[in-house]
Amino acid sequence: MVRKLSRRVYLTVMLIFLYAPILTLVVLSFNASKSRAKWGGFTLKWYKQLFSNEETLNALYTTLLIAFLSALIAVILGTLASIAMNSMKKKPRALLMAITNIPMLNADIVTGISLMLLFIFVNVVFRTRIRLGFTTVLLAHITFNIPYVILSVMPKLRQINKNTYEAALDLGASPIYAFYKVILPEIFPGILSGFLLAFTMSLDDFTITYFTTGPGIETLSTQIYTEVRKGIQPEIYALSTLMFAAVLLLLVFVNRKSAVKEKE
Amino acid sequence: MANKLVDLQNISKAYGDNVILDDLNLYIKENEFLTLLGPSGCGKTTTLRIIGGFETPDSGKVIFEGKDISKLPPNERQLNTVFQKYALFTHMTIAENIAFGLKIKNKSRQYIKDKIEYALKLVNLKGFENRSVDSLSGGQQQRIAIARAIVNEPKLLLLDEPLGALDLKLRQDMQYELIRLKNELGITFIYVTHDQEEALTMSDTIVVMNQGYIQQIGSPEDIYNEPQNAFVADFIGESNIIDGIFVQDEVVEICGKKFACVDKGFGNNTPVDVVIRPEDIDLVDPKEGTITGIVKSLLFKGVHYEMEVEANGRDWLVHSTDLSPVGAMVGIKVDPYDIQIMKKPESEDEEAVVNDEQ
Ligand SMILES: Nc1ncnc2c1ncn2[C@@H]1O[C@H](COP(=O)(O)OP(=O)(O)O)[C@@H](O)[C@H]1O
Ligand SMILES: [Mg+2]
């Protein structure tokens, strides 16, 4: 009895700790009063203002575009990399897996600064004129997304019976035909969750974007940061709430999918 | 003699320092049911994969219908493989699995449909067209794998322990079905197994392998009755393998007693291995036996009794339908043609004998 009760209490306290800040944010985004200390009634006006703000809409567009493109390119590169790694011997594969996992654990700020330095360095050495901006942010996002793709595609590849691909060849399929007809459909669930995960990570990112972006290019997160420095407007609560909701939805979707798969 | 369908010439294969096949020579005749038999790890699968094109030999040639196909990729070889773990395409229905090879060959829809129906009937799974792979038992999946292979009308079917994952009863049923299939289709089978009973039941020709070397090639009767060395004798069924001395032609000394045999030409007074099958030992009255001994143990095995008899310092395994109780004094008698004499291997640990005969 007592154990059960204490377990409940613990869980509740933990959830409050985790979600209280976000809950505050969500509540304030519907607060008609500008004051953070007073409830002025329910309103959607901050959301309306948000969507009539051109800068915000621009940032939203950039964010979605970068998320989509970076996830797409990361999925292609990551899947190819996984296939190559899967056909390696055990030791080099384990080593490469570890190497690809490290960037995920690396502090964002380190990744961000290193990428920024790399872009500048390339400019200096190769006398190119890559300007920090859309392209560099996109490249940065592709970079940090690839490990997530590998992480979700690799287990699917490992599950495939080694003989399945050979069976396709045996029945007369060329290697490319065998890949499209046999391997790709088998690993598609992994590719899809890799894409969604990458998309979410890209939406979510502030630090790396902040260091690799340049003048004129804002994503939602850098936009919020800029706004906040000017002074916090309730509009920001609305925007943050929306971002939270979007990421939450995506994650629920990914988890549901893998839960259903596991049941099968 | 029928034509050689496949001819493996001087095939060698090593993984790193690990030599798997060393100068292997073997041919398979058209319409033959040939079985590669040997303990796990002896190189059977490797041999099969070299024929299928999934491994390239380090040296040597694979000749198929007189043409060198050593460099041909698997998808261009006129043969099909049934893998041990079935390797069905799990995201496709049964019909789609079977149609896979035919679609690549651009066969008409009607042709494919007829073929699927025919193949499913052949493997006794009529009406399974739209089932999913996951809904099938292991035995059923293996039949589908066979159906998927044979609709392509290959000249040669390679089967790598196709019944290995099935339970005993199902395995026996499938053995008969495979023989029936082979006879109906008239294609050549190369079959891999480590199960000697399976090999004896199904094959026209058995190739016994050990550590990458062919030990003996012959019909099941040859292999069983006249094993060429102790390894084959031991691997194929239970045997008494006894040290003996070849005294002179048609006389061999075992455990200090002279036995009549039918072999000649091993050289007078040469140490040899003597193989006597347990069912070839007759237990008789002690006075009539060449050697006398005492029954040490007795087991009822269904068709026969299995007895261990201690005589002249060693245990003799005996199978007989007549029972001799434990502790009884018995005489051991062996007919001359039931005694199989073999040359001793050159060295003690040289189990694998290089054998170029065929
Ligand atoms: N791809 C491989 N890499 C390294 N060693 C292998 C490989 N495939 C097989 N072997 C080794 O070759 C030997 C023979 O294998 P195999 O032909 O599969 O034997 P069998 O089918 O008779 O059990 C085994 O010792 C196995 O470990
Ligand atoms: Mg094998």
- Residue A34's pLDDT band (cuts 50, 70, 90): confident
Residues A253, A214 share a domain: no
pLDDT computed for residue A264 by the predictor: 53
Look at residue A149 and tell me if it is in a domain: yes
Residues A245, A220 share a domain: no
Which residue in B has a C-alpha nearest to residue A172's C-alpha? B75
Look at residue A28 and tell me if it is in a domain: no
Which one of B225, B255, B283 terminates a domain?
B225
What's the mean pLDDT in B321-335?
A: 92
- Nearest atom of ligand 1 to the alpha carbon of B42: 22
Residues A123, A72 share a domain: yes
Is B80 close to A181, i.e. CB distance below 8 A? no
Residues B277, B218 share a domain: no
Tell me which residues have their CB within 5 A of the ion that is ligand 2: B 45
Q: Select the more confidently predicted residue: B346 or A28.
A: A28
Q: How many helices (H) and strands (E) does chain B have?
A: 8, 20
Residues B293, B201 share a domain: no
Residues A263, A187 share a domain: no
Look at residue B230 and tell me if it is in a domain: no
- Residue A165's pLDDT band (cuts 50, 70, 90): very high
Q: How far apart are the first and last CA of chain B?
A: 14
Residues B88, B190 share a domain: yes
pLDDT computed for residue A141 by the predictor: 95
Residues A176, A121 share a domain: yes
- Which residues, 6 or more positions from A70, have their beta carbon under 8 angstroms from its beta carbon? A138, A141, A142, A145, A198, A202
Tell me if B13 sits within 8 A of B48, measured CB to CB: no
Which one of B225, B249, B265 terminates a domain?
B225
Is B87 close to A182, i.e. CB distance below 8 A? no
Tell me if A223 sits within 8 A of A206, measured CB to CB: no
In chain A, residues with a C-beta closer than 8 Å to the C-beta of B145 are: 167
Look at residue B187 and tell me if it is in a domain: yes
Residues B335, B256 share a domain: yes
Choosing from B13, B19, B35, B46 the residue with most ligand 1 atoms within 8 A of its CB, the one to mutate for a pocket test is B46
Is A164 close to B89, i.e. CB distance below 8 A? yes
With a 6 Å cutoff on the Cβ, whether B73 touches ligand 1 is no
What's the mean pLDDT in B174-194?
A: 91
Residues A156, A264 share a domain: no
Residues A187, A87 share a domain: yes
Which one of B204, B225, B246 terminates a domain?
B225
What's the mean pLDDT in A108-130?
A: 89
CATH number, residue B324: 2.40.50.140
Cα(B58)–Cα(A188) distance, integer angstroms: 36
Q: Domain tally for chain B?
A: 2
Sheet of B18-29, strand order: B18-29, B4-15, B59-64, B67-68
Residues B143, B40 share a domain: yes
Ligand number nearest CA of B84 is 2
Q: What is the mean pLDDT of chain B?
A: 90
Residues A185, A65 share a domain: yes
Q: Domain tally for chain A?
A: 2
B41 CA to middle of ligand 1, Å? 6
Residues A242, A153 share a domain: no
The residue segments making up the domain with residue B27 are: 4-225
B349: pLDDT strictly greater than 50: no
Is B83 close to A163, i.e. CB distance below 8 A? yes
Look at residue B351 and tell me if it is in a domain: no
Question: Best residue in A171, A179, A181, A261 to probe B by mutation, most B CBs within 10 Å?
Answer: A171
List beta partners, residue B24: B11
With a 6 Å cutoff on the Cβ, whether B39 touches ligand 1 is no
Is A167 close to B91, i.e. CB distance below 8 A? no
In chain B, residues with a C-beta closer than 8 Å to the C-beta of A264 are: 134
B192: pLDDT strictly greater than 70: yes
With a 6 Å cutoff on the Cβ, whether B44 touches ligand 1 is yes
Look at residue A25 and tell me if it is in a domain: no
With a 6 Å cutoff on the Cβ, whether B15 touches ligand 1 is yes
Cα(A145)–Cα(A199) distance, integer angstroms: 8
What's the mean pLDDT in A93-122?
A: 90
Alpha helices in chain B (DSSP H): 44-52, 94-104, 109-122, 138-150, 168-185, 196-202, 220-225, 230-235
Question: Best residue in B88, B100, B133, B146 to probe A by mutation, most A CBs within 10 Å?
Answer: B100
Cα(A15)–Cα(A92) distance, integer angstroms: 41
Look at residue B322 and tell me if it is in a domain: yes
Quote the percentage of chain A above a pLDDT of 70. 97
Residues B198, B255 share a domain: no
Residues B295, B167 share a domain: no
Cα(A76)–Cα(A150) distance, integer angstroms: 10
Three-state SS at B262 = coil
The single-letter DSSP state of residue B278 is G
- What count of other Cβ atoms lies within 10 Å of the Cβ of residue A179? 14
Look at residue B232 and tell me if it is in a domain: no
Residues B219, B260 share a domain: no
Tell me if A116 sits within 8 A of A132, measured CB to CB: yes
Q: What is the mean pLDDT of chain A?
A: 89
Look at residue A3 and tell me if it is in a domain: no
The residue segments making up the domain with residue A76 are: 60-96+105-232
Which residue in A has a C-alpha nearest to residue B83's C-alpha? A163
What's the mean pLDDT in A240-251?
A: 87
B39 CA to middle of ligand 2, Å? 9
Task: Please report where in the chains the tokens 């798969």 appear, as a residue.
Answer: A261
| pLDDT tens for each residue of B70-88 | 999 999 999 999 998 889 9
Look at residue A224 and tell me if it is in a domain: yes
DSSP letters for B125-160: -TT-TT-BGGGS-HHHHHHHHHHHHHTT--SEEEEE
- Nearest atom of ligand 1 to the alpha carbon of B16: 4
Question: Best residue in B76, B81, B82, B160 to probe A by mutation, most A CBs within 10 Å?
Answer: B81
Residues B253, B181 share a domain: no
